Amino acid sequence: MRIGILTGGGDCPGLNAVIRAVVRKGVGHDGDEVIGFRDGWRGLLDGDAVPLDLAAVRGILPRGGTVLGTSRTNPYALDDGPERVLSCLDRFGIDALVPIGGEDTLGVATRLAERGVRVVGVPKTIDNDLDATDYTFGFDTAVGVATEAIDRLHTTGDSHHRTLVVEVMGRHAGWIALHAGMAGGANVILIPEHPFDVDAVVAHVQHRFDTGFSPIVVVSEGAQARDGALTVAAGQADAFGHVRLGGIGPALAALIEERTGRESRAVVLGHVQRGGTPSPFDRVLATRFGLAAIEAVHDGETGVMVALRGTDIVRVPLATATARLKLVPAERYAEAEVFFG
Amino acid sequence: MRIGILTGGGDCPGLNAVIRAVVRKGVGHDGDEVIGFRDGWRGLLDGDAVPLDLAAVRGILPRGGTVLGTSRTNPYALDDGPERVLSCLDRFGIDALVPIGGEDTLGVATRLAERGVRVVGVPKTIDNDLDATDYTFGFDTAVGVATEAIDRLHTTGDSHHRTLVVEVMGRHAGWIALHAGMAGGANVILIPEHPFDVDAVVAHVQHRFDTGFSPIVVVSEGAQARDGALTVAAGQADAFGHVRLGGIGPALAALIEERTGRESRAVVLGHVQRGGTPSPFDRVLATRFGLAAIEAVHDGETGVMVALRGTDIVRVPLATATARLKLVPAERYAEAEVFFG
Amino acid sequence: MRIGILTGGGDCPGLNAVIRAVVRKGVGHDGDEVIGFRDGWRGLLDGDAVPLDLAAVRGILPRGGTVLGTSRTNPYALDDGPERVLSCLDRFGIDALVPIGGEDTLGVATRLAERGVRVVGVPKTIDNDLDATDYTFGFDTAVGVATEAIDRLHTTGDSHHRTLVVEVMGRHAGWIALHAGMAGGANVILIPEHPFDVDAVVAHVQHRFDTGFSPIVVVSEGAQARDGALTVAAGQADAFGHVRLGGIGPALAALIEERTGRESRAVVLGHVQRGGTPSPFDRVLATRFGLAAIEAVHDGETGVMVALRGTDIVRVPLATATARLKLVPAERYAEAEVFFG
Amino acid sequence: MRIGILTGGGDCPGLNAVIRAVVRKGVGHDGDEVIGFRDGWRGLLDGDAVPLDLAAVRGILPRGGTVLGTSRTNPYALDDGPERVLSCLDRFGIDALVPIGGEDTLGVATRLAERGVRVVGVPKTIDNDLDATDYTFGFDTAVGVATEAIDRLHTTGDSHHRTLVVEVMGRHAGWIALHAGMAGGANVILIPEHPFDVDAVVAHVQHRFDTGFSPIVVVSEGAQARDGALTVAAGQADAFGHVRLGGIGPALAALIEERTGRESRAVVLGHVQRGGTPSPFDRVLATRFGLAAIEAVHDGETGVMVALRGTDIVRVPLATATARLKLVPAERYAEAEVFFG
């Protein structure tokens, strides 16, 4: 078979591991041809493609990023987008397509499947917020980067008797904050699913100082205060006269400093969480996703996505898979709260 | 309640995280007292115990090892062992016991539960070979150590055109070899569950050299050749006149060198896999196990063990939990074989 | 002898290693008593001290931060500060003082030595900008943190065809940017010693894109554009209407995006560079500094500082040691420029 | 100019960084051509060469190993070796040669320089035992790998109340053991330069147990007991009936177990120390060596080697540079001894 592959949306450690697995199994074992489209759906709009043989994927397993490039291009945002994609698939003689991406990328995949394209999706979101799979690759790596930063900040916080606020990724779901915060021994964890009470945060911070140690607050970029005090637009002065750039972290640090009378500093981890070599967990998961995608293609599946359930790779319908965000449930947040203060 | 806790068997990153979670929840939130017994069941035989308050567990989350010490002492190996344990539990006024350990430790726990002791076990095996739980803490860390070693060895193998054989832990089950080998891009993975054919190994090694790169072979300490050629006792000369110490790795390297006519080297990772700071995955899992154990105790459970199923922590009967080893199934090994050679 | 020790100024990985070495040699071998003053000079103003025995320093070698705490308190900023320090030294019966710190801390030490206090200083600056020593501990660790971030950002930059700007520490000297930039394969490195030309930066960025890869720009927090365009105060709108917080990095990223028409992102590493376990290089250097300080004390030295010259630890006069900043010389920057673009 | 380059002897992290720097400066800035010979001197014997342009060195800075391959082939071990090398240099039109290697490789370089070949050497030894340079690249990385292992082993030793013996590289000089042992807080460090007294080692081990913690012994592969008791040939039974393979570590562990009556385990780190991504220190040093080599070539130098003195790269005569091994001096070992026991 001739199988097309592309990577869309935000960067995520493990993308190359999926690509390699698809090629090693497809080309190396099953006699397929694999064609890579560049920069996500853009490559399918423009016919920008490259054949992927075994040599093309040699050595890419431990590398972050994607050798195919990525973009946020959505064919359905263009009038003739879907037609151009279909015509390109036809021109390249693509029998099946394996798009690797998040909600947006897989949303396009779902609609193409409805148009008759044979599609097997591979889920990708560093935020781990896709409901149909236990974990997505990239998440464990991001948690690792954030945890290492928290480990480092503990010692410097204690030496200076300062509060340190660490802003991590997570616009809608707080999984990275939850896991990195639990792993790093954070004294407060704030996530989008649970709007926070500023007084309670300050009380936890104060309590931690009372034990003789310094507080670490981990906050998802999408977390918000209950009263809305901290949700000012970037670049505007907030209620305390502080000008913020790009996140809740610095605003929260300023507020804590004001309220506790002790120095407070923010660290915004940013894109470091998205790059670099994937963790072993992510390499294994991404590799298994790639293998399972090829198997599903050969089994004649379409309109499905591979997913992790426990330790098994399963297939779920694309349409339902992307329908719902996986949020941190109350009981998981309650586990974390045991360690607050 | 007064809750006893102990850690038994081989060392494993994450033990301290369990202890901390038990104390933070028990002492810090639920008004319990927690008593730690030293060096596993030995502490309960000798009445060697220490009260654990919040200060005792401060800062131990990221540390490997166990602040309680461990041993392989089994009370049932002594005539009066069980009686001494029961009398000690009585003397310390222990209402419930949380033993953290593997097959042996939990086997003792099972028998004590049958004698009426309230017991909630926490599973621990670096080999990940306990059937009742998807993962045990420590495993992800061990895989991380092994994968980092494999990553390093790839470059030195290629520079010298040598085969490198990496021996990892796994006496009965090949999980560490399977995961680290897949994550590290090994060219052959040999595990106890699938006795290997020497000719096939040599063929894979040769094929890898033919691609212009050098082979990495990952082998579980418990792996064996089909024909038994390599299963000589440590310290005896094997069929090829090589004297081996402590493992299949060096013997296999010698054999590969002989058969391919190219240099081959072995690295036996050993105890490095058991030590040091746990990975974030293991810290979170160990913390959740500790929390769940205290909850089970408060719910009046006994004779159960906490376990991971998917992303949920569940309770399973101790008796069945330790009855069966979790081995690498054929389909998981088949996934790895896609990348051989 | 009774020896006082304190750590002042900004946090720095390796401080605990110095403290441990002083205690292990002083108390463990030479029969001294060691008294630790808390939070730098503040402890000497307030008589806040703790005796340090062998148990107090057990296990602290690999830990970041300082078990003694630190502050930026300067006794000479208070009218009665110096007298209070002298009286405290007298009250505690301190025979000699080992202050560990940077320009400020050692400046106080210099003045106290002139008043007759026996002082042997240990230099500390994460920026590596003290002229009298080849390296200071903490610097290698900071370079390691920054290099790991750059390694990670390379892959994500390439996947998204974006410029990534990494802001690292270095207010007056660009050593961290120079070393991390060279180690990380940065395409442009901007340091305070060499005001940069915006057009040249944009040209390098453009040239890198032309090779098919994405640019990484490493910039010291103290770097400035030649024309002053980017040196706006934090919180004010700059020439391009962008509001900046806390650094040159985000401003530069905004400018590069504007000028190249391609997405650009900034990462401000911040306090992560100051914390966490010291690198082996820093542990060895800090340990040797501690040992050498005790030896200098026993040799009757005063008004000196220990320093690294090649592979030797030497003693230099405190007065001259802190007189001059060690800046990146033109020829070292020229080495880095070979790799620009 | 047309410049030849080769890498000889044992693998060492940083080789690729040298190659890249030579090409980036030579080809990218100075208008040179660079020809890489494969597998050290073998490539010059067989005329096995590859032109190195900018694309050939893209992305290799952070990678261990050497893209040119390496071998221990010595032309002077063959009757017609030197003539074949000279003729090959002539055939490829090589104006100057930059060999990167240790004693052997640079010994050949010295003799070729005497025959009129223009040669500028780059020193390489993971053991750091070349007298003419403060440090060689690769050493810091090896120390890092060993220190990380020691950090991990501390916790597992303490949990099991075991002695752990870590065998590191260093046949003639104990630099890796000295630095990793100091950085890792080893309780005993044994190096080739100072034959050890078995009773003293056992006493230190015993003393460490007495403090309530477990001993870590770091031993260079070339270390020897004073009385010769442990220097049996690999594969023979030693004085204690133990059969050893490949190192002093396991023999010493067996002896300590016998003498202390407590479990003891050995870890032989082996080739992991030679592979993988170089540390930032090594990347910077290797890069500067490469730049300096090209500069020396353009300055018309020959028969010299680049070297590190303090923070400067200098040139030293090849003949003297390789004449003497740099051993650990008594005063450096005495520093380490402060922490024994």
**pLDDT of chain B, 341 residues: tens digit per residue:** 999 999 999 999 999 999 999 999 999 999 999 999 999 999 999 999 999 999 999 999 999 999 999 999 999 999 999 999 999 999 999 999 999 999 999 999 999 999 999 999 999 999 999 989 999 999 999 999 999 999 999 998 888 899 999 999 999 999 999 999 999 999 999 999 999 999 999 999 999 999 889 999 999 999 999 977 665 444 444 444 444 455 899 999 999 999 999 999 999 999 999 999 999 999 999 999 999 999 999 999 999 999 999 999 999 999 888 888 999 999 999 999 999 99
Mean pLDDT of chain A: 93
- For residues C173 and C220, what is the distance between their CA atoms, to the nearest angstrom? 8
pLDDT at residue number A227: 76
pLDDT at residue number A231: 57
Ranges assigned E (strand) in A85-202: 96-101, 120-123, 163-168, 188-190
Residue D340 lies in a domain: no
- State whether residue A274 sits within 8 Å of chain C by CB: yes
Mean pLDDT of A178-190: 98
A260 labeled part of a ligand binding site = no
A274 labeled part of a ligand binding site = yes
pLDDT at A179 over 90: yes
Residue A333 lies in a domain: no
- State whether residue C288 sits within 8 Å of chain D by CB: yes
From chain A, pick out residues whose CB is under 8 angstroms from the CB of C65.
154-156, 158-159
pLDDT at residue number C246: 55
- Domain with residue B14: its CATH number is 3.40.50.450
CB contact under 8 A, B279 and A144: yes
Q: Tell whether D78 and D126 lie within a shared domain.
A: yes
Which among A11, A39, A104, A127 is annotated as catalytic? Answer: A127
Please tell me the pTM assigned to this model.
Answer: 0.95
Helix (H, G, I), strand (E, B) or coil at B176: helix
CA distances from D119 to A117, C299, D15, D73 (A): 63, 48, 18, 18
Q: Which residue of A has its CA nearest to B180?
A: A280
A309 labeled part of a ligand binding site = no
- CB nearest D309 (choices: C62, C310, C339): C310
- State how far residue A246 is from chain C, nearest Cα, in angstroms: 9
Helix (H, G, I), strand (E, B) or coil at C181: helix
CB contact under 8 A, B280 and A134: no
- Assigned token pair, B251: 């013997």
CA distances from C248 to A39, C256, C327 (A): 30, 12, 19
| Residue C243 DSSP symbol | B
pLDDT at residue number D200: 96
Residue A138 CB neighbour total at 10 angstroms: 27
- State whether residue A21 sits within 8 Å of chain B by CB: yes
- CB nearest B24 (choices: A25, A277, A339): A339
Q: Tell whether C150 and C254 lie within a shared domain.
A: yes
From chain C, pick out residues whose CB is under 8 angstroms from the CB of A19.
none
B242 vs A216: which has the higher pLDDT? A216
Q: Which helix (H) or strand (E) holds D88?
A: helix D81-91
Alpha helices in B36-102 (DSSP H): 41-46, 81-91
Which of A155, A161, A209, A277 is the best mutation test for C, with the most CBs of C within 10 A? A155
- State whether residue C311 sits within 8 Å of chain D by CB: yes
- Assigned token pair, B99: 């033993």
Mean pLDDT of A42-48: 97
Q: Which residue of A has its CA nearest to C164?
A: A271
pLDDT at A235 over 50: no
- For residues B314 and D289, what is the distance between their CA atoms, to the nearest angstrom? 58
- State whether residue D216 sits within 8 Å of chain B by CB: no
How many CA atoms does the CB half-sphere of C202 hold within 13 Å? 14
| Residue C172 DSSP symbol | S
Q: Tell whether C51 and C175 lie within a shared domain.
A: no
A288 labeled part of a ligand binding site = no
Q: Please state the residue numbers annotated as binding site of C for diphosphate.
A: 10
Which residues 174-193 of D are in CB contact (within 8 Å) with B? Answer: none
pLDDT at residue number C119: 98
- State how far residue C158 is from chain D, nearest Cα, in angstroms: 12
Opening angle at CA A41, ends A37 and A43, nearest 5:
40
- State whether residue C147 sits within 8 Å of chain D by CB: yes
pLDDT at residue number B243: 43
pLDDT at residue number A145: 97
Query: Which amino acid, A319?
Result: A
Opening angle at CA D230, ends D226 and D234, nearest 5:
140
From chain B, pick out residues whose CB is under 8 angstroms from the CB of D244.
245
Q: Tell whether D202 and D308 lie within a shared domain.
A: no
- CB nearest A338 (choices: B24, B135, B309): B24
Residue C329 lies in a domain: no
pLDDT at residue number D333: 98
- For residues A322 and D78, what is the distance between their CA atoms, to the nearest angstrom? 68
pLDDT at residue number B324: 86
CA distances from B103 to A185, B108, B114 (A): 29, 9, 16
pLDDT at A274 over 90: yes
From chain C, pick out residues whose CB is under 8 angstroms from the CB of A277.
152
- State whether residue B149 sits within 8 Å of chain D by CB: yes
- Determine the distance from the C-alpha atom of residue B231 to the mean position of all C-alpha atoms in its chain, rounded to a whole number: 23
Query: Which amino acid, B319?
Result: A
Which residues 24-83 of D are in CB contact (within 8 Å) with B? Answer: 39, 63-66, 69-71
pLDDT in tens, A198-209: 999 999 999 999
- For residues A119 and D136, what is the distance between their CA atoms, to the nearest angstrom? 54
Helix (H, G, I), strand (E, B) or coil at D153: helix
Q: Tell whether D128 and D149 lie within a shared domain.
A: no
- Assigned token pair, A70: 């990525």
Q: Which residue of B has its CA nearest to A291?
A: B335
Helix (H, G, I), strand (E, B) or coil at D85: helix
pLDDT at residue number B323: 82
Residue D183 lies in a domain: yes
- For residues A77 and B24, what is the distance between their CA atoms, to the nearest angstrom? 52
pLDDT at residue number C247: 86
Low pLDDT (below 50) residues in chain D: 232-244
CB contact under 8 A, D155 and B63: yes
Q: Tell whether D126 and D145 lie within a shared domain.
A: no
Q: Which residue of B has its CA nearest to A18?
A: B183
- State whether residue C233 sits within 8 Å of chain A by CB: no
Residue D331 lies in a domain: no
pLDDT band at A80 (very low <50, low <70, confident <90, very high): very high
- State how far residue B28 is from chain A, nearest Cα, in angstroms: 8
CB contact under 8 A, C159 and A11: yes
Q: Tell whether A266 and A288 lie within a shared domain.
A: no
| Residue B195 DSSP symbol | P
| Residue C214 DSSP symbol | -
Looking at chain C, which subunits does it touch, using at least 3 CB pairs closer than 8 Å as the criterion? Answer: A, D
Low pLDDT (below 50) residues in chain C: 232-244
- State how far residue D299 is from chain B, nearest Cα, in angstroms: 31
- Determine the distance from the C-alpha atom of residue A227 to the mean position of all C-alpha atoms in its chain, rounded to a whole number: 28
Q: Which residue of A has its CA nearest to B308?
A: A310
From chain C, pick out residues whose CB is under 8 angstroms from the CB of A267.
268-272
- State whether residue A151 sits within 8 Å of chain C by CB: yes
Instruction: Tell me what ipTM this predicted complex has.
Output: 0.94
Residue A22 lies in a domain: yes
Q: How many domains does chain C have?
A: 2
Q: Would you say C29 and C291 are in contact if contact means Cβ atoms under 8 Å apart?
A: no
pLDDT at residue number B244: 42
- State whether residue C156 sits within 8 Å of chain A by CB: yes
Residue A156 lies in a domain: yes
Between chain A and chain B, the number of residue pairs with CB atoms below 8 A apart is 87
From chain A, pick out residues whose CB is under 8 angstroms from the CB of B213.
58
**Residue C89 contacts by C-beta under 8 Å, 6 or more apart in sequence?**
C4, C44, C97, C117
- State whether residue A268 sits within 8 Å of chain C by CB: yes
Q: Which residue of B has its CA nearest to D275?
A: B152
A272 labeled part of a ligand binding site = yes
pLDDT at residue number D150: 97
User: What is the share, in percent, of chain A residues with pLDDT greater than 70?
Assistant: 95
Q: Tell whether B87 and B23 lie within a shared domain.
A: yes
> How do strand C216-220 and strand C264-268 relate by DSSP bridges?
unpaired
CB contact under 8 A, A11 and C275: no
Which among D32, D127, D129, D282 is annotated as catalytic? Answer: D127
- CB nearest B180 (choices: A29, A277, A280): A280
Q: Tell whether D214 and D234 lie within a shared domain.
A: yes
Residue C332 lies in a domain: no
> Which letter, b or e, does each residue of B43-72 get, where b requires 16 or more Cβ atoms within 10 Å of its Cβ?
bbbeeebeebeeebbeebbbbbbbbbbbbb
Q: Tell whether B94 and B118 lie within a shared domain.
A: yes
pLDDT band at A233 (very low <50, low <70, confident <90, very high): very low
CA-based end-to-end distance of chain C: 58
Give the residue numbers spanning the domain of B167: 139-274
Q: Tell whether B231 and B179 lie within a shared domain.
A: yes
Between chain C and chain D, the number of residue pairs with CB atoms below 8 A apart is 87
pLDDT at residue number A320: 83
pLDDT at residue number D324: 86
- Domain with residue A171: its CATH number is 3.40.50.460
From chain B, pick out residues whose CB is under 8 angstroms from the CB of D270.
265-268
Opening angle at CA B279, ends B275 and B284, nearest 5:
120
Q: Tell whether A27 and A113 lie within a shared domain.
A: yes
- Determine the distance from the C-alpha atom of residue C339 to the mean position of all C-alpha atoms in its chain, rounded to a whole number: 25
CB contact under 8 A, B291 and A24: no
From chain A, pick out residues whose CB is under 8 angstroms from the CB of B309.
310
